[in-house]
Structure 1
């Protein structure tokens, strides 16, 4: 699976609430950062960022750029409770697995 496919799989797993399928896509020392989180580890990522029940109903990848070991993805997300937003993420890979994700929150649309 190439990097673009891995990113698309990550979003599909998120919508399907499949942490079990996502864990192998991430390195053991994976970190996640956002305006709310600073380099949290994989366990905390799953705890904080994969809420129960899921809060997003759709994620549409609008832009995806691969450059070496980095992927920039822009997407539109729709919330189960209504409303939509746009975000950008920078994902850094080690080999074929995601080593880090940095989320840059966008605006509501």
Structure 2
């Protein structure tokens, strides 16, 4: 069930990734968590923690939220980040149930500059 706290859960989950706070990230992820991106096709929680979670140091600085909104049970999070001095944008669609993220789909955007 989506609650008004869904956006807050996603913000805390993103912050845990950026700060590499694995305990908080794991607590915010449902056991059946599924992650999909152009590079990862429906990987599970453990695979995401091993493959994706440690990559926060790839970014020059924490990402900046441009928009975050819950629509029809999905939190849409559009953000900007920097890699090697260039700005990029992505959008994620995350589902939250009972205070935990059940799925995340990442859509890669292009360079901004």
TM-score of the pair, normalised by structure 1: 0.89
Conservation of the 8 A alpha-carbon contact between 1:69 and 1:94: no
**CA RMSD, Structure 1 to Structure 2 (Å):** 1.7
Q: Which has the higher strand share?
A: 1
Unaligned stretches of 5+ residues in structure 2: none
- Structure 2 partner of 1:69: 73
Residues 53, 97 of structure 1: alpha-carbon distance in 2 compared, 3 angstrom cutoff: closer
Which 4+ stretches in 1 moved above 4 angstroms? none
Residue 54 of structure 1 aligns to a residue whose secondary structure is helix
Per the alignment, residue 38 of structure 2 pairs with: 35
**2:108 maps to what in 1?**
105
1:83 aligns with 2:86: yes
TM-score (norm 2): 0.86
Query: What runs of 5+ residues in structure 1 fail to find an aligned partner?
Result: none
Aligned pairs, number: 108
Cα deviation code 1:33-90 (max 9, x no counterpart):
00111110011111221235721222111111112431111000123x4322100100
